[in-house]
Amino acid sequence: MTLRVLVAKVGLDGHDRGVKVVARVLRDAGMEVIYAGLRQTPVALAATAVQEDIDVIGLSMHNAAHRTLAPKVVDAVRRTGADIPVIVGGIVPDVDVPALVEAGVFAVLGPGASADEVVNSVLEAAASREDVAL
């Protein structure tokens, strides 16, 4: 089975170089990646994830809105009834990581995360789902 990963930028963050690199890393690892683009809303992103039968969502955050927007994405996904883990990557201070995990974010990857760390985090997130067989 090929994992389906949705990557996106939520809110007004317009820095998309990192998320495009992550998309390429995941594709090179054999995953199917859908890049939802810039300025997504949590509700629209959750709807896309359900419609596209996504296994893992990756959010790229660089505008300091991670503590507000990432939990909103997790909540929006839960409201659909789907079990889709959310991973956050980007500029996230270490002090904010526990709050994101408590809000339901599966993992947080900071600047300098290696390609292997990115791929392994997605694989671990997918494996955490009861309905995904790797």
Full-model pTM:
0.93
Q: Is residue 77 part of a domain?
A: yes
100 membership: H or E segment, kind and range:
helix 97-102
Average pLDDT over residues 122-130: 91
Quick check: 39 pLDDT over 70? yes
Q: Is residue 133 part of a domain?
A: no
User: How would residue 30 be classed by pLDDT, with cut points 50, 70 and 90?
Assistant: very high
Number of other residues whose CB lies within 10 A of the CB of residue 14: 10
Q: Is residue 38 part of a domain?
A: yes
Beta bridge partners of 22: none
Q: Is residue 132 part of a domain?
A: no
Q: Is residue 46 part of a domain?
A: yes
Amino acid identity of residue 131, one-letter, is D
Quick check: 15 pLDDT over 90? no
Give the CATH number for residue 115.
3.40.50.280
Q: How many CA atoms lie within 13 A of 10 on its CB side?
A: 31
Q: What is the largest CA-CA distance in the chain?
A: 36
Quick check: 64 pLDDT over 80? no
User: How would residue 19 be classed by pLDDT, with cut points 50, 70 and 90?
Assistant: confident
* Structural domains counted in the chain: 1
Q: Which domain holds residue 121?
A: 4-127
Q: Is residue 134 part of a domain?
A: no
| Residue 133 confidence (pLDDT) | 58
Q: Is residue 52 part of a domain?
A: yes
Residues contacting 81, CB < 8 A, separation 6+: none
